[in-house]
Amino acid sequence: MNKLIAISIVVINGLFSCNSSKQEEATTIASKVNLLDTAKWFIGTWQNQTSDGLFTEQWDQKNDSVYSAISTVIVNKDTVFYESISLEQKDDSLYYIVSVKDQNKELPVSFKLISVTDNQLVFENAKHDFPSKITYSKIKEDSVVAFISGLIDGKEKIEQFPMKKIK
């Protein structure tokens, strides 16, 4: 009887350790997936000239886990809006991190990737007032639209920023 119990314990431990190692392997594989690669189409200079000014986003690859950008709006040669952005891969998650001049004490605000396809990335931070969601949609190789949305005074607001790739 004691031998049967001992053998059962060995078999059960073996089963749990196999399951455990499979879970660890799956976690390791997931952490090796580079979500940043899904945003390769961000790289470059994107612009939109409107009656309100010239909107520009300049994206560069900093390293294998970070893309960085500067976003500006220029009106009559004056920079009226400036923000720095980074896309950062941390383990198995991708974050859109933005610091806006003269907003939020210029502290960075993070938005986590919640949805991804070949042509769209959606980031969200439900705790942030506006925007709480940032979406980039690739229309063609040389055109994208960025959407920001959230609540202002309890009402849903969406702003869109169409851009053409200039280089």
Q: What is the mean pLDDT of the chain?
A: 84
pLDDT in tens, 102-115: 888 878 999 999 99
Instruction: Kindly report the CATH class assigned to 35-165.
Output: mainly beta
Q: Is 106 exposed, middle or buried (0-12, 13-18, 19+ CB in 10 A)?
A: exposed
Does the pLDDT value for residue 77 go beyond 70?
yes
Task: Region of 108 please: left (phi>0), alpha (psi -120 to 50) or beta.
Answer: beta
Domain ranges of the chain: 1-32, 35-165
